[in-house]
Amino acid sequence: MRIHLLHTNDIHSSLENHMRLGSLLRQKREEIQRAGHPVYTVDLGDVLDRVRPETEVTSGLLNAYLMSSLGYDAWVFGNNEGLTIPVEQWSELVRLSGALFLSTNMRDVSGEKFPFGVDWIVEDHERVKIGMFGVTENFENPYRVLGVRVLDPIQTAIEATRTLRQMGCDVVIALTHLGLWKDRKLAAAVPGLSLVLGGHSHHFMDTLEWVEGTAIFQAGKHALAFGHTEVLFDEETGSVRSVVCNRIDVPEDGVSDEAMLRTYQQQEGPMQAMLARPVLTLSRPLPVRLDGPSPFADVLVEALFDAFPADVGIMMSGALTASLMPGEIQVQHLLGACTTPTRPVLLTLFGRDILSILGKSIQPEYYFRQGIGYGFRGSVVGVLALKNATMQITSSPDGQSHVYNVRIGGRPIDENREYRVVTCEYLWLSSTFEEFHKGQDIEFGRPLVREILMDYLADGRLTRND
């Protein structure tokens, strides 16, 4: 018995690539079906990304429509689905995708299963029974504020595999959004697992890996490729005889899948109308700089500080990727200028930690540091913009820059006092300024930072505060 899986991962709203991929995948699937073999089409998370304007204005529904057009059997959420789409919208997202939502390690805040999700899929093909489950990375604190509990993926995989084997499954497949390193740990820790197909770490694997008798494979990112995995099950011995994994690269000049393209065109008019909605009219430019004072970043941190009770606001200018020019500013202009879908975070820091952050922030090795992971969609972290705080900078004889006369609320900063800080999720989670990891009493704001910025500008508060 030959069992085929066609799998995508980490498409990140690369819509044009996804449609080109769809054409090839559909051809491959029809070829397998003509041969009479069972075939499953699955996505392993981060099919959507709110960096893409069409995804932003539809809250990912466009991506779900495209999935439905191509025909997916199962979907494992990645962090972009789970952490950037409000949980209240998940059921509609899943419904429109037409795929089964494998939510094996995802629960609501009370620990109950989501009614629109399933823990596993069990399929019988002649005398062979196949079981599949899905696990995603457990970003505990960010998920908690959304009312979501994500169980330990490895322990969940152990329990799911045991259950599926007890149900008589001959082949057990884990679909994951954990990253290759954790897939290896999972394979080593879970007895009875046949295969791990994963995403999250964006590895373009040429060949599969074997860990403790379990095959592992991942097929890149951004719909530049997809995976074709074939499991050969020997019915006489009752065991997997072989696993073959191939990465199928998608040519840049490939044709789009007709059904997916038609779906996009049907949604294009309403999306463009939403993107063209006016937000405000600017009388002056709002430039962004990554290596010095940035008026646009000052407005961004002002919007954050205005929205949440805090002693000080700290925001990275690298969240902004374009300046705003005078004239009418539309939704699409703001989305293009503030591409990083990060959320606001409130935390408590000692004055000494804030001083350390500010001292580092004026050094080129910090503000020119590349932003990586945690939803960052710019180039470098950039300088930090402050609200309700001021500082002065001086240079020592050795050419090093230092901060002095730091004030919060007009008063000299007290190293031993605790201050409430409003910042963004990226600065809290990343390793750029490790002092943020010392934060206590963490609270997450549910709107994205750029949604707060948009509301701030649309309400005319920029004009009132000028």
Q: How far apart are CA 24 and CA 9, in angstroms?
A: 15
User: Do 404 and 431 have their domain in common?
Assistant: yes
Q: In this structure, what DSSP letter does residue 343 have? A: -
End-to-end alpha carbon distance in the chain? 71
Question: What span, in angstroms and rounded, lies between the C-alpha atoms of 322 and 103?
Answer: 37
**pLDDT of the residue at 325:** 95
Same domain as 161, residue 183: yes
- Do residues 87 and 146 lie in contact, with contact meaning Cβ atoms separated by under 8 Å? yes
pLDDT score at 411: 97
Q: Residue 43 sits in a domain of what CATH number?
A: 3.60.21.10
Task: Look up the CATH number of the domain holding residue 402.
Answer: 3.90.780.10
Same domain as 331, residue 257: no
pLDDT at site 80: 93
Exposure of 228 in the CB half-sphere (CA atoms within 13 A)? 16
Among 271, 286, 305, the domain boundary falls at 271
Query: Structurally, how many domains does the chain consist of?
Result: 2
Range of the domain at 314: 276-465
110 and 237 fall within a common domain: yes
Statement to judge: residues 109 and 242 lie in one domain: yes
pLDDT score at 238: 85
Give the contacts of 355 (CB within 8 A, at least 6 positions apart): 403, 406, 413, 415
pLDDT at residue 464, as a whole number = 57
Same domain, yes or no: 168 and 317: no
Q: Which residues pair with 108 in a beta bridge?
A: 148
pLDDT at position 438 is 96
pLDDT under 50: residue ranges of the chain: none
Residues 119 and 172 in one domain: yes
Does one domain contain both 320 and 231?
Answer: no
C-alpha to C-alpha distances, 46 to 60, 77, 82, 258, 305, nearest whole angstrom: 11, 7, 9, 23, 30
DSSP string, 402-445: EEEEEEETTEE--TTSEEEEEEEHHHHHSSSSGGGGG-EEEEE-
pLDDT one-digit tens code per residue, 235-273: 888 889 999 999 999 999 999 999 999 999 999 999 999
The percent of residues in the chain predicted with pLDDT above 90, rounded, is 87
Please name which of 254, 180, 182 lies closest in space to residue 219, comparing C-alpha atoms.
180
Q: Given 3-state DSSP classes, what are the helix, strand and coil percentages for the chain, each rounded to the nearest 5?
A: 35, 30, 35
pLDDT of res. 463: 58
Assign 136 to helix, strand or coil. strand
Give the bridge partners for 197, in sequence order.
175, 217
> Where a domain ends, among 255, 271, 287?
271
Helices (H) and strands (E) in the chain, counts: 16, 25
> For the whole model, what pTM was predicted?
0.90
Instruction: Quote the CA–CA distance of 385 and 302 in Å, as a whole number.
Output: 9
Mark whether 261 and 280 lie in a shared domain: no
> What pLDDT does residue 126 have?
82
Which tokens hold the place of 285? Answer: 């430019």
Q: Do 176 and 287 belong to one domain?
A: no
Check whether residue 238 and residue 94 sit in a common domain: yes
Q: Both 74 and 51 in a single domain?
A: yes
Q: Where are the alpha helices (DSSP H) in 10-135?
A: 15-34, 53-58, 61-70, 79-84, 90-97
264-320 pLDDT per residue, tens: 999 999 999 999 999 999 999 999 999 999 999 999 999 999 999 999 999 999 999
Q: Which of 221, 236, 271 is the last residue of a domain?
A: 271
Q: Alpha-carbon distance 303 to 461, whole Å?
A: 9
